[in-house]
Amino acid sequence: MVMSEPSHDNSPLLLGIKLGTACTAVVSSRGYRRLTPSVVGYPRDIIAVRMLGKTQVFGDEALAHKSALALYHPLRDGLAQDGGGKHDYNAAFELLQQVISEARQDEAGDLSAVIGVPARTSHTARAALQHLVEQFCRSALILPEPYLIAHHLNCLANGLIVDIGAGHVTVCAVKGAAPLPQDQAVLPRAGDYLDQQLLAMVNQHHQGVRISLPQARQIKEQYAFVGEPPEPVQVTLRAKGKPGLYDLTDELGTVCASIIPEITEQLAALLQSFDPEDQETVLEHIYLTGGGSRIRGLASKIGEALSEYGSVSVSCVEEPEYAGALGALQLATELPPADWREFGLASRLPETGI
């Protein structure tokens, strides 16, 4: 998490937000930046309310007090699937309200926000969110995350973006306009899947050891790699309560590599949707982003897997957790908020759900 000192000027406050399954990223035109886990907790009972001193808890604080709370992951549990339940909308609304009020840094006055949501979010859910957010933003624009990442990369045509998030991997062909459904593939095996696979493999291979999903995720985030291990993955775990040092190098390498075949298959399929004369350029512009792009060795393994298509360049986006939010802020800055509705970007964008 990085935050700047508030620096007020007279221009209207603009926010770029990425609302993700795992993480919400916010950047502002005043230089503010923050990552918050996309989770909202409500105290389970009156004792929990007294202990926490409030009726809603967000992000890291919610995760730290999870036993006292009913936790909602609004993007994981339903909002991005078709419709979502009332609780998902409430939780998404409250999460957005919270991160936006933090991003204000005590500055009063109007603000406008461009908000990126997972590519699979239905048009109905996007419209509902827009309606909610307009209650506390002068203007709001809700757009699919890959569209904003392409904007951030200034990759407006002839490129392929692979966004490896927690809930999904989105592979998106960038063709100079908002992606159509046929220009993207949304794959369900992403960061959360890797955590579950690692947990299952460790519990199966090491007798008596039981790890939790948050532990599996932490190990993955610290050591994830494909190909040659950059270092042995040795971690202290407990078997029947007693600590011991375990080597998880093979398990982690195998689990991380498991997402490569589907990704390369979709890249190859989407490559063929470009005109043949553009395909060479497209292969030179393949970008990995999302938290999962931090898996060490992934870009070169994906490049190797595509070697039969000729010269290939696969690169990782800097600060992948912020790419969607930075693209959102860039769009908010370039397009005056007063024109957002007139441009009708939100309504013109096609349905991109799976």
Whole-angstrom distance, CA of residue 26 vs CA of residue 222: 23
217 binds, among ligand ATP, Mg ion, none (CB under 5 to 8 A by kind): ligand ATP
The residue type of 8 is: H
Q: Is 187 in the site for ligand ATP (CB under 6 A)?
A: no
Q: Is 166 in the site for ligand ATP (CB under 6 A)?
A: yes
Q: Is 291 in the site for ligand ATP (CB under 6 A)?
A: yes
Nearer to ligand ATP by Cβ, of 77 and 280: the residue is 77
Give the footprint of ligand ATP on residues 100-119 (CB under 6 A): 118
CA-based nearest residue to 2, from 22, 23, 32 = 32
Whole-angstrom distance, CA of residue 323 vs CA of residue 289: 8
353 binds, among Mg ion, ligand ATP, none (CB under 5 to 8 A by kind): none
Does the CA dihedral 262-354-171-214 come out positive or negative? Answer: negative
Q: Is 165 in the site for ligand ATP (CB under 6 A)?
A: yes
Q: Is 21 in the site for ligand ATP (CB under 6 A)?
A: yes
* Segment near ligand ATP (CB under 6 A); pick from 42-50, 159-167, 243-251, 339-347: 159-167
Shortest distance (Å) from residue 140 CB to ligand ATP: 19
Whole-angstrom distance, CA of residue 61 vs CA of residue 95: 13
Q: Can you read off the two tokens belonging to residue 234?
A: 């040795």
Nearer to ligand ATP by Cβ, of 292 and 297: the residue is 292
Nearer to ligand ATP by Cβ, of 38 and 158: the residue is 38
Distances (CA, A) of 242 to 202, 208, 216, 315, 350: 16, 10, 18, 42, 54
Distances (CA, A) of 337 to 15, 141, 331: 11, 9, 10
Residues of this chain that interact with ligand ATP (CB under 6 A) are: 20-23, 75, 118, 163, 165-168, 190-192, 217, 220-221, 224, 290-292, 294-295, 321
